A and B are shown apart, each in its own frame.
Chain A
Amino acid sequence: MLKYTIKRIFLFIPTVLIISFVIFFIIQLPEGDFVSSYVARMQAEGEVFTAQDVADLRTQYGIDQPWLVQYFNWMEKIITKGDFGYSFAYARPVWSVIMDRLVLTIIVSLTILIFTYLVSIPIGLYSALHQYSVGDYFFTALGFLGMATPNFLLAIILMYVSFKWTGDPLLGLFSTEMLQEGVHLYNFGEFLQRMIIPTIVIGTAGTAGIIRTVRGQMLDEQTKQYTLTARAKGLPEYVIVYKYCLRAVLNPVASGLAKALSNIFSGSTISAIVMNLSIQGPVLYAALKSQDMYLAGTILLVQAVLVVIGTLLSDLALAWLDPRIRFDRKG
């Protein structure tokens, strides 16, 4: 187990390096750069730029060099100084821009993650243990609907419903009052209220997916030899289900951890844009759009690192949950 963990950690570094390279390549792929989009925007507002001004701006931002050089400079600074570069659009170091929204992003994402697991695993188990009951049909239908509706469109529907009912589409996480005075105990209730739609919207697809996996997996386990043996031995049903079957059922759920972890950082971009949530996703989208390359690059890099760490963690969780995997790797 230890040897395996160490090997995986060593494989981690080259993977991240390759990913960072690909990310940088993709970001610079669209034509133009930050200066050209900036100049175009300014010219639309009536500013005048000479070719010299534009060239000066490029030199100032260091984007007059070929992208490979830019990439190596960027990487060098990250590795030696922990400096992730400078965001052109925010005129601040990238890291401070990211930090701005990190806390809120983590709160929102963790809430959604916990909601997803808390709701989906019990429902999945219920559906499997009461197969073909009314409840099973209800949740299966709901799960399918949840998967079939694109998240961001679900957001629009819910906002529309909320608008029709209460006259307020509940756009964003903070009311204007909260923005001015900050979140305190007395308006925390309203903040929670504003969390409802984002949680449902972003959590639904994941919930639907996990319900289906848990249900299918539990049904499979029910007919296996070991379950039959346990039942023949006269073990109480709850021991069979919760002590033995549940381990096998949680196996695929644990593999999903990798994606979940990266989503905490900057998942559900489109929904967040639609719902006007001030979390990381929309920042990434805006940065990509305006070619604020170091900001976009850093967000993507952190996210990729989280995916790799998540994969590692979920593999370790799998080994812990399922002894067969552990012994397989020894042999």
Chain B
Amino acid sequence: MSLFKKKEKSEESYYLASQWTLIRKKLMAHKLAVTSMIVLGILYTTALFANFLAPYGLEDFSSDYKNATPTAIHWMKEGAFVGPHVYKMSYTMNKETFKREWEEDTSVMYPLKFFVKRKPYRLFGIIPSDVHLFGTEAIGDEEPPRILLFGGDNLGNDLFSRVLIGSQISLTIPFVGTLISFVLGVFLGGISGYFGGMVDNVIQRVIEVLSALPTIPLWMALSAAIPPDIPVAQMYLMITMIISLISWTGLARVVRGQFYALKNEDYIVAARIAGVSNMKIILKHMVPGFMSYLIVNLTLGIPNMIIGETSMSFLGLGMRSPATSWGVLLKETQDINSVAQYPWRLIPLIAVIVTVLAFNFLGDGMRDAADPYK
């Protein structure tokens, strides 16, 4: 009896639940999507606290560590456990290959410390601080050895720190860009689909022309318009604008298609006959009808923007030094010889792939969940 009641109750809650509750439930049942959400959560949290988590800031580099191999972290000394520590690295130039050969000096042990003070920075861009999550501390007067988890780049920057700090740009450009193209796409696609006729024709031709143009010349033309020495924040905004100006067309098409499909539905006609204003019909009656599809579309659009930003920076058309993004870091891999010598330079690529995969899986899960009545 109680079992029957329980079942009835769960069925009742199913019928009473709103569309969004059902979507959420279905999404939570999609394991890959939930995992991706967790991964993305971690990535965005590390991006938020990047300055604190990264052992070194962007200006904190030393030419002694040019192209250094990733620092090895040791736990044992002479067979006994002593906790994580690193050794000073020194290099000798190989006269034949002109490659630096790195060697550890195991005489002095530098233990890894938490909450180490180094150069000051501003957390979230506001709170001044000089504490970094981990690092090494000096013994005596000597400068402590640097700990480069992902190795060093050709200036002696810590690649690990740059990947973390670069994620602030690489992870947010797609978000802001998506927001801009969302507004453009919904607005233009909406009027195109809702009003039809002349307006529709003009907007459709614009979309057609824009999407017939390959992206590279558009990038080149638009990024050539960015002055060379503007502040990072402004450059960031402009690159975002460029990416979203190119990518709103796809969304506008989807929105238009949805408007077309919905505008002759009985309930919309009824609303129109009842004298509801156009704006209210669009916002209250139509948009909720395909909101879930829009969100899916947006989620699946983000990975393309990440790859877009990476490609732009890779070609030198996007973010430029001193700003750091994953694309800027990957620019150093353009030359196969440098990759062959310093394979750790490919590490930022892992960050790109993980993020893009996570967004794709999340979008896939959302697509399944978008129509919860199925």
Contact = CB atoms under 8 A, between A and B. Distances in A.
B346 interface: yes
B357 A156 contact: no
B216 interface: yes
B225 A270 contact: no
B176 interface: no
Contacts of A266: 214
Interface in B237-256: none
A144 to B, nearest CB: 6
Contact of B225 (A30, A153, A160): A30
A243 to B, nearest CB: 27
B224 A15 contact: no
Contacts of B361: 144
A23 B221 CA distance: 10
Contacts of B221: 26-27, 29-30
A264 interface: no
A171, A262, A288, most chain B CB atoms within 10 A: A288
B121 to A, nearest CB: 30
A129 interface: no
A297 to B, nearest CB: 10
B330 interface: yes
A148 B214 contact: no
Given A19-B209, A285-B216, A148 B353 contact: yes
A10 to B, nearest CB: 14
B360 A148 contact: yes
Contact of B336 (A160, A304, A308): A160
Contacts of B340: 160, 163-164, 169
A247 interface: no
B213 A156 contact: no
Contact of A156 (B205, B209, B217, B339): B339
Contact of A29 (B212, B224, B343, B346): B224
Interface residues of B, number: 35
B346 A157 contact: yes
B216 A270 contact: yes
Nearest to B315: A270
A214 B346 CA distance: 32
Contacts of B172: none
Nearest to A296: B217
Nearest to B224: A30
Contacts, number: 104
Given A30-B221, A149-B353, A163 B336 contact: yes
A304 B357 contact: no
Contacts of A307: 212
B103 to A, nearest CB: 23
B147 interface: no
Contacts of B213: 19, 22-23, 26, 300, 304
Contacts of A308: 212
B214 A303 contact: yes
Contacts of A303: 214
B314 interface: yes
B346 A156 contact: yes
Interface string A4-41: 00000000000100110011001101110000000000
Contacts of B303: 147-148
Contacts of B339: 156, 159-160
Contact of A31 (B209, B214, B218, B224): B224
B360 A26 contact: no
Contacts of A288: 216-217, 220
A156 B333 contact: yes
Interface string B286-329: 00000000000000000100010011001100000000000000
B342 to A, nearest CB: 11
Contacts of A152: 311, 314
A273 B339 CA distance: 16
A30 B220 contact: yes
Contacts of A29: 221-222, 224-225
A153 B352 contact: yes
Interface string B214-240: 101110111011000000000000000
Nearest to A273: B315
Interface in B261-277: none
Contact of B357 (A148, A157, A160): A148
Contacts of A148: 303, 352-353, 356-357, 360
A143 to B, nearest CB: 10
A274 interface: yes
A274 B353 contact: no
Contact of B209 (A18, A269, A296, A300): A18
A284 interface: yes
B311 A144 contact: no
A26 B225 CA distance: 11
B208 interface: yes
A159 B361 CA distance: 28
Contacts of B315: 270
B92 interface: no
B37 interface: no
Contacts of A157: 346, 349
Contacts of A160: 336, 339-340, 343, 346
A262 B205 CA distance: 19
A92 interface: no
Contacts of B333: 153, 156
B94 interface: no
Interface in B77-128: none
B334 A274 contact: yes
A23 B212 CA distance: 10
Contacts of A26: 213, 217-218, 221
A144, A150, A288, most chain B CB atoms within 10 A: A150
Interface of A: 15, 18-19, 22-23, 26-27, 29-31, 144-145, 147-150, 152-153, 156-157, 159-160, 163-164, 169, 171, 262, 266, 269-270, 274, 284-285, 288-289, 296, 300, 303-304, 307-308
12 contacts: A18-B209, A23-B213, A30-B220, A144-B360, A148-B352, A149-B352, A153-B314, A169-B336, A266-B214, A270-B315, A289-B220, A304-B213
Return the 9 tightest CB-CB contacts between A and B, nearest first.
A30-B224, A148-B356, A29-B221, A26-B221, A148-B357, A307-B212, A169-B336, A150-B307, A304-B212
